[in-house]
Chain A
Amino acid sequence: QKEVEQNSGPLSVPEGAIASLNCTYSDRGSQSFFWYRQYSGKSPELIMSIYSNGDKEDGRFTAQLNKASQYVSLLIRDSQPSDSATYLCAGLTGGGNKLTFGTGTQLKVEL
C-alpha cells in the first residue's frame, strides 16, 4: 500500500464549477499535509498546508483534513482554465519532516 494515494485522473470540470481533489494516507502518525500545484514542465508550487482536523480556506482554495478517516481533500471554487495542472498531495511522515508525495491528480478545467 502506498503511503499517500491519489486518483491520477484526469478530472475534468467546467469553468466556474467546484473541483474536488482527494487523497488518502496510510501512516496514522502523519500530522501535516500539503497540496502542491504543478504545471506541465514546471516544478511543484505550494498552495495549501493543513495541520489539524477540519477545513482551512485560502481564497478559492479549501483544504480539508479528516485524521480519523485518513483523508485529505482540496476544493477549488470557481475553477478557471488557469487551474488546469497536476495537484500533488503530500504528507509529513517518518516521524517528522520527511515529505511523502502521492502521484498527483491531473485537473482539466474546460471552457
Chain B
Amino acid sequence: EAGVAQSPRYKIIEKRQSVAFWCNPISGHATLYWYQQILGQGPKLLIQFQNNGVVDDSQLPKDRFSAERLKGVDSTLKIQPAKLEDSAVYLCASSLGLPTYEQYFGPGTRLTVT
C-alpha cells in the first residue's frame, strides 16, 4: 500500500514570496491533516479536512496560509506572503478515522525562508 506522498521535499524562498505544497493521502483515507513542525518541537496541527470539508483550522494563520482539498483526495497548502518564522517542516498526514484514528505521515516538505 502506497504511503502519503508530498512534494516538493525541499523549498527555499525569500520572505514575502509565496509557496505551495502538495499532498496525496493514502488511498481511502477520508481525513487529511497538515502539520507544521519547527525544529525541536512536536508537530502542530494547522488544518484538518474530512473529505472536502474543513473540520479544524483554528491554528491556521489565515492571513497568510490557505489550504484546500478538492474532490476529497489531494490537498494543497499555500503560504503567501512567507515570513522568516514560517521556516519549518510541513507534514501531511492521513487517517481512516474510526475506529483507531491512527495517522500516517508523509515525508514532509522542508521550507527555508531567507
Contacts and interface: CB of A to CB of B under 8 A. Distances in A.
Nearest to A34: B102
Interface residues of B, number: 24
A101 B101 contact: no
A99 B107 CA distance: 18
A43 B106 contact: yes
A103 B40 contact: yes
Given A42-B107, A43-B108, A44-B91, A32 B101 contact: yes
Interface of B: 31, 33, 40-45, 48, 55-56, 89, 91, 95, 97, 100-108
Q: Report the 6 A-B pairs with minimum CB-CB distance, sorted nearest first.
A: A101-B42, A43-B105, A43-B108, A103-B42, A44-B105, A101-B43
Interface of A: 4, 8, 32, 34, 36, 42-46, 49, 51, 88, 90, 92, 94, 96-104
